[in-house]
Amino acid sequence: MKQAGERPVLDVSGLPSVAFGRSNTSWLGNVFYMLIEGTMFALLFASYFYLRTRSSSWPPFQSPPYAVYGIANALLFAFSLIPARLAQRVAPSGDRQKIRLALLGLGAFAVANLVLRGFELTSLNCRWYENAYGSILWSLVGLHTGHLITELVETMSLAGVSFTRSMEGTRLADVAINSDYWYFVVVTAFLMDVIVYGTTRFL
Amino acid sequence: MPELDKTVRRGGAPVFIWWALASGPLAWTFDLGLSYALTQHSCSTGHYYLLHVITVVCAGIALSGLACAWSAHTSLPPEATEQGRRPLDRTYFQVLFGLVFSLAFVVAIIAEAVPRWILSPCD
Amino acid sequence: MTLARLHSGLALLAQFTGEHNSLHPAGPQASGIEWLYWVVFWITFAAFVLVVAGFTRAAVRNRSSTSEMLPLVRDLEGDRRASWAVGTAVFITVLTLFAVLFMSIITGKKVEGLTSKNPVTIQITGHQWWWEAVYPNTQADQTITTANEIHVPVGKPVVILTNSADVIHSFWAPSVHGKRDLLPGYSSAFWIQIDKPGTYAGRCAEFCGLQHAHMGFSIVAEDQDTFQRWEAQQLKPAVEPNSSETVRGRQVFLTHACVMCHTIRGTDAGSRMGPDLTHVGSRRMIAAETLPNTPGALAAWIIDPQRSKPGNKMAPNLLNPGDLGALVTYLGTLQ
Amino acid sequence: MSQQVAVPESTREPILARTWRQPGGFWGWFQNVHHTAIGVRFMVTAFIFFLLGGVLAAIMRWQLATPEHGVIGPDLYNQIFTVHGSTMIFLFAVPMMFQGFGVYLVPLICGTRNIAFPRLNAFSYYVYLVGGLLLWAGLLLRTGADAGWFAYVPLSGPEFTPGKRSDFWAQMITFTEVSALGVAVSIATTILRYRAPGMTLNRMPLILWEKLVISMAVIFAMPAVMVVSYMLLMDRTINTQFFNPAVGGDVLLYQHLFWFFGHPEVYIIFLPGTAIASTVIPVFCRRHIFGYVPIVTSVVATGILGFGVWVHHMFATGLPQMSESFFTAATLMIVIPTAVQFYCWMATIWHGRLQLMLPMLWMFGFFFVFLIGGLSGVMLASVPLNWQVHDTFFVVAHFHYVLIGGALFPMFAGLYFWIPKITGRMMNTLLGKVHFWLFFAGFNITFFTMHFLGLRGMPRRVYTYGPEMHWEGLNLLASSGVLLMATGVIVFIVNFFHSKSRGRLAGPNPWGAGSLEWAVSSPPPAYNFLELPTVNGREPLWDALPNQPVVTGLRDDIPEVLVTNSLDSEPQHRDELPPASIWPFLAAIAVSVAFIWSIFSPWGVAYGAIPVAATLLGWLWPRGHSPSPRVPEEV
């Protein structure tokens, strides 16, 4: 190639080796995955309303899901935003103690959400094999529950890492990104609740 | 336009330039989606005008993007080039992009309007 | 003049002996679409010639035969002229596309615009792999049920109602109209009209399983008198057997597997799984236009339907030659 | 930008080579995460699937050559056309045009050392491979999918396709979509974060613009087919009722969801072709592309408009005519951006100095063939015309003109153009020309004929036809073209192996091209660039200053790349990429087991998730400490 004798250079050695926020590549990758999964949710929502137009009554010949567990879970989701935001706030400091606490807190919320989700599943008042309404309802709740489990595993793994000295560098950025993903899970939970518990009563 | 100058120097782009880029596709998406969803509704209720309202509103949204792009175009300093390295040049490119884009989607929205001039939603 | 000749030349290239060709229309629907086809064809042909000419001219203009690496061109004046040329071309393209859009929608409106107070109505139900045709009537005994061969009066609007018994099929007689899907769970209606007497072939156009290839039908367009005679004939119950051979044939029919699937009105056979055979002898073809309705073909079909149409729902029938002959003779009398 | 004297190259090179070295040997093959290796694997695997799909096509044409031909029966024929279509779309076109070219080229053209998320990228390859093998294993066991490549319900549903045939198809979809999505995320992130300093948004080479748009199209389109293939799978395995009209299900829901993916898919296949065109044409016309801004806007507009035309696959279903006509309008409007690109290419050739070398020859083939496909597409956009030609051989002709014209011709142009970069040796020109003319002639003989068959009423997907239809002459002609095409492809393979060992050495830049992949040796070293470049224009090598600066200050002893921002490619921070690893392969195996298990038992998902989680933990588990403390900083 060319001689490297007197070439002007752009020296980047002073730049940081880890970045938080939007310039982090994993942050961007995470955004793309939220777009992918958001599209999936959107398509299931669209399918739900499409199937609604193919049926004269809704829910067809059964009562709407029992809403109490759903509302309780929605409240729980709302409060879980606190540890999520906390984890994001303390991550750049690298303070493993605080990170650990925030992540464990978030994990505890996720477990509680999951338990309540179990009760929700028992009170949908339909089965997935009965009719198309049941199928789409269970798919919606199931897809979201899958996300909840994934997020729980990820949070607990990060919490595990936070007990070791490996919780540094990009791992700290991952903690912040994990919280972004939790926000996504919470927002989709709210949207799903509106559909599962709301539209079955008012549509 | 001081806002333009300030944001461009920071290396970003002002909101109205992003609007010039986004308004066309958004307007067209709404136009197509709403028209498709409401065709049967407007047939069964007899509110045929609804479909024309959608056209006008969506074309308006796209035209607002065109206006943003145009006003940014006129207020950009003359030294901006399409290929340069500076944020200013990149903004100029975005503005050109926005102009072409908004115009293109206005044309697309007009094309979407043609069926409702000829057909009835109940056909 | 030349255009007309070119036209007929191209039509010849895409020609077919008569009744199964979207460019040989027999009624207003297919004619409207054919008209649109030729208009759009000539527009796209012109676009094709212009673009190919443009690329050819561009290619020969500055072609360099050397394979050495040439220096880069920087031609601002050329760019400026190219901007105008490209701009003009895009403008013309947009106008042309709008013209196509207008013509397409207007043709669509015209093609679908047929209507009539008192049309002949035919309910078509797609089955794997045959067509059930019912001419509904409020009185049950005035309802015609037949299969694969549809009769319509010439010059009269006919409304076709669609439905499917199993998977998606698509009803398509290209000389009459474009295709329409038969979807399970949906029923829709469309209109046809045939102006020239004759027989028009049709096929299933949506992939529907093993015997998608052998799912044909035909539309027989005949003048009003003939059509009414046909109607009257179809309304009658099955012909009573009038010879020992045909009596035996009916006996074979009623005592073998035939009755599991088929109907012959006027007898005990009343199952709707397969085609209604009350007037099977009057049809030109059997097995959804797979075989001609000759005694030989019919006998071969009854013995082993899986041979000419593998996968179809009719099971082989091991009849002795005497029974088979009697059955075929009997079915042949069911005019 | 500071003036400094760079470290002498001779000492850095071995260090970099060691840092970026990928393990060799049998087990090393499964650990490699470098984008050049993975890109080549995608290309080779996709090409093999192309050959296999071609063999199926030849069998079909043999069967259809004469009426009532008894080569194969309906059952095998249906499996063959289903696997042919699925292979060509899911296992060849997208993996070749998007994943193969994209993974190999994007990091090089960006001027960086590896793709973002290299392990995800490697994982995507294995998942794709397993998906392909699954589909073909089904065919070879005579239980191949047989409901067509779009597998409409209810035909593909539990009632009409019992057994596991459609399940193989649906899971193959999942595999290939997971793969395409993983690569899309990698490529989009690479383009937005790893571009060389100076490669601002307005200077991104057109191929990067197109890869970015395709990645976004993949991200928004593929979820639709995942959703719909899972609905089908659940209908088949756990008795959900999505598509059963008796209890509120709907067969058109399937078609809406499928084509909401299916039509953007066409652009996911076709846009890489235009990317190759916009890259190859300037090189052989010895000038910058004419109309950079219009081409960029066209590409982005195509990506967006492509999501608004799906109903034109459903014109015959009897939707209200006005609803359908909206999609006629959208379909006609999508012609405009493609026309703009054609005119810009024409102007580039017009005002350039054309050298008709092999890649350019294939470009002219692309112009001719795709033009015909595009124009017959105008006919298909019209609702009434569509009623006549939909689901006939006219459509078969149309989409082969579009897909072979829009993907295969550019693919061969791209292969003749980039194979010297990949193997380091030039392809033989004479053999290349023989290949072109055989393929071009054979293609047109086979597929132009099909337009007439369609107009004369021949529906698609029929395994045979009767002599009374008078289709035999045209069918025989169509079948004969296959021989020419096949010979052409064989000539290409011979040419490839011949040139790979004996071809003329290519050197770094045999064509005098302007993009960054030509700045490095052929084939590229493990670290791609000794010094990361900076860029001074849209064609970095053509527009470089006499003393164009290079980037220094990245560490050589760990695999580090420079991260820049999306709009202005300003350096932001340094990023350490993960080294080679076996975990992506193990994770792919675990995921495959779970997917395939789920066909046979719903519990496969639950039990299969355990090894998946385990391998993912292994994949993501921290690799110990960095050699030096890494400083987090809010940027």
Residue B9 has pLDDT above 80, yes or no: no
Report how far residue D269's alpha carbon sits from residue D272's, in angstroms, rounded to the nearest whole number: 6
Residue B6 has pLDDT above 80, yes or no: no
* C107, containing H or E segment: helix C76-111
Q: Are D287 and D348 in contact (CB under 8 A)?
A: yes
Question: Residue A112: which pLDDT band, with cuts at 50, 70 and 90?
Answer: very high
Please determine whether the domains at C120-234 and C244-333 fall in the same fold group of CATH: yes
Task: For D410-437, write each residue's pLDDT tens digit.
Answer: 999 999 999 999 999 999 999 999 999 9
Mean pLDDT of the region C140-167? 93
C85 at D interface, C-beta within 8 A: yes
Structure token pair of residue D602:
């719903």
Neighbouring C-alpha atoms within 13 Å toward the C-beta of C210? 15
Mean pLDDT of the region D158-177? 91
Mean pLDDT of the region D244-257? 94
Closest-CA residue of chain D to A156 = D617
Percent of chain C at pLDDT exceeding 70? 95
What are the extents of the domains in chain C?
2-60+76-111, 120-234, 244-333
C186 at B interface, C-beta within 8 A: no
Task: For D295-331, write each residue's pLDDT tens digit.
Answer: 999 999 999 999 999 999 999 998 999 999 999 999 9
C244-333 has CATH 2.60.40.420 classification:
yes
Mean pLDDT of the region D555-566? 91
Report how far residue A107's alpha carbon sits from residue A112's, in angstroms, rounded to the nearest whole number: 9
Q: Is the peptide bond before D410 cis (omega within 30 degrees of 0)?
A: no
Alpha-carbon radius of gyration of chain D:
25
Report how far residue D363's alpha carbon sits from residue D499's, in angstroms, rounded to the nearest whole number: 21
| Cβ contacts of C106 within 8 Å, gap of 6 or more | B118
Nearest CB partner across the interface for C109, out of B107, B111, B119? B119
Residue D523 has pLDDT above 90, yes or no: yes
Mean pLDDT of the region D535-553? 92
Of the two residues D56 and A96, the one the predictor is more confident about is: D56
Of the two residues A28 and C13, the one the predictor is more confident about is: A28
Q: How many contacts, defined by CB atoms under 8 Å, are there between C and D? A: 273
Q: What is the pLDDT of residue D192?
A: 96
Q: What is the pLDDT of residue D4?
A: 45
Report how far residue D128's alpha carbon sits from residue D134's, in angstroms, rounded to the nearest whole number: 10
Report how far residue A152's alpha carbon sits from residue D50's, in angstroms, rounded to the nearest whole number: 42
Task: For C187-220, write each residue's pLDDT tens digit.
Answer: 989 999 999 999 999 999 999 999 999 999 999 9
Question: Residue B83: which pLDDT band, with cuts at 50, 70 and 90?
Answer: confident
Q: What is the pLDDT of residue A6?
A: 64
C22 at D interface, C-beta within 8 A: yes
Task: For D591-610, write each residue's pLDDT tens digit.
Answer: 999 999 988 888 888 899 89
Q: Which of C143, C283, C153 is nearest to C225 (CA)?
A: C153
| Cβ contacts of C3 within 8 Å, gap of 6 or more | none
C216 pairs with which residues across the strands? C203
Gap from D512 CA to chain C (nearest CA, Å)? 6
Q: Which of D337, D504, C240, D585 is nearest to B107 (CA)?
A: D337
Question: Residue C88: which pLDDT band, with cuts at 50, 70 and 90?
Answer: very high
Q: Which of C162, D330, C113, D249 is nearest to A51 (CA)?
A: D249
Residue C67 has pLDDT above 80, yes or no: no
| Cβ contacts of D388 within 8 Å, gap of 6 or more | C22, C30, C33, C37, C174, C178, C179, D455
Task: For A25-51, write each residue's pLDDT tens digit.
Answer: 999 999 999 999 999 999 999 999 999
B40 at D interface, C-beta within 8 A: yes
C19 at D interface, C-beta within 8 A: no
Q: Are C204 and C132 in contact (CB under 8 A)?
A: no
The top-level CATH class assigned to C120-234 is mainly beta
Q: How many contacts, defined by CB atoms under 8 Å, are there between B and C? A: 18
Interface test with D, best of C23, C73, C124, C199 (most D CBs within 10 A): C73
Mean pLDDT of the region C71-86? 89
Q: Are D322 and B115 in contact (CB under 8 A)?
A: yes
Domains of chain D: 32-580 (1.20.210.10)
Question: Residue B75: which pLDDT band, with cuts at 50, 70 and 90?
Answer: confident
Distances (CA, A) of D259 to C279, D93, D131, D165, D224: 43, 17, 21, 21, 9
Q: What is the pLDDT of residue B66?
A: 96
Report how far residue A121's alpha carbon sits from residue C84's, in angstroms, rounded to the nearest whole number: 64
Percent of chain B at pLDDT exceeding 90? 59
Closest-CA residue of chain D to C79 = D290
Q: Are D334 and D377 in contact (CB under 8 A)?
A: no
Cβ D227–A47 below 8 Å, yes or no? yes
D105-136 exposure pattern, b = at least 16 Cβ within 10 A, e = fewer: bbbbbbbbbbbbbbbbbbbbbbbbbbbbbbbb
Paired sense of beta strands A9-11 and D550-552, if any:
parallel
Cβ A21–D240 below 8 Å, yes or no? no
Q: What is the pLDDT of residue C45?
A: 96
What are the extents of the domains in chain A?
23-202
Q: Which of D331, D285, D290, D292 is nearest to D310 (CA)?
A: D331
Interface test with D, best of C45, C55, C84, C112 (most D CBs within 10 A): C55
Nearest CB partner across the interface for B100, out of D293, D328, D565? D293
Interface of C with B in 62-101 (CB under 8 A): 94, 97-98, 101
Percent of chain D at pLDDT exceeding 90? 85
Of the two residues A57 and A141, the one the predictor is more confident about is: A141
Q: What is the pLDDT of residue C20?
A: 86
B81 at D interface, C-beta within 8 A: no
Mean pLDDT of chain D: 92
Nearest CB partner across the interface for C109, out of B107, B111, B123? B123
D542 at C interface, C-beta within 8 A: yes
Residue B67 has pLDDT above 70, yes or no: yes
Closest-CA residue of chain C to B111 = C98
Contact residues, chain D, for A159 at CB < 8 Å: none
Task: For C243-288, write each residue's pLDDT tens digit.
Answer: 999 999 999 999 999 999 999 998 888 898 999 999 999 999 988 8
Distances (CA, A) of D608 to A29, A78, A157, D223: 25, 32, 19, 22
Closest-CA residue of chain B to C104 = B115
Interface of B with D in 14-33 (CB under 8 A): 25, 28-29, 32
Task: For C103-149, write each residue's pLDDT tens digit.
Answer: 999 999 999 888 888 899 999 999 999 999 999 988 888 899 999 99
Q: What is the pLDDT of residue D1?
A: 38
* A113, containing H or E segment: helix A96-122
Q: What is the pLDDT of residue D328?
A: 96
Residue C93 has pLDDT above 80, yes or no: yes
Interface of B with C in 49-108 (CB under 8 A): 107
Question: Residue D24: which pLDDT band, with cuts at 50, 70 and 90?
Answer: confident
B57 at D interface, C-beta within 8 A: no
Question: Residue C64: which pLDDT band, with cuts at 50, 70 and 90?
Answer: confident
Residue D77 has pLDDT above 90, yes or no: yes
Gap from D276 CA to chain A (nearest CA, Å)? 25
Closest-CA residue of chain D to C72 = D286
Nearest CB partner across the interface for A128, out of D2, D238, D256? D238
C127 at D interface, C-beta within 8 A: no
Percent of chain D at pLDDT exceeding 70? 96
Backbone φ, ψ for residue D185 (5° rounding) = -65, -45
Q: What is the pLDDT of residue D8?
A: 59
Q: What is the pLDDT of residue A131?
A: 92
What are the extents of the domains in chain B?
15-118
Q: What is the pLDDT of residue C1?
A: 42
The top-level CATH class assigned to A23-202 is mainly alpha
B89 at D interface, C-beta within 8 A: yes
Contact residues, chain D, for B43 at CB < 8 Å: 320
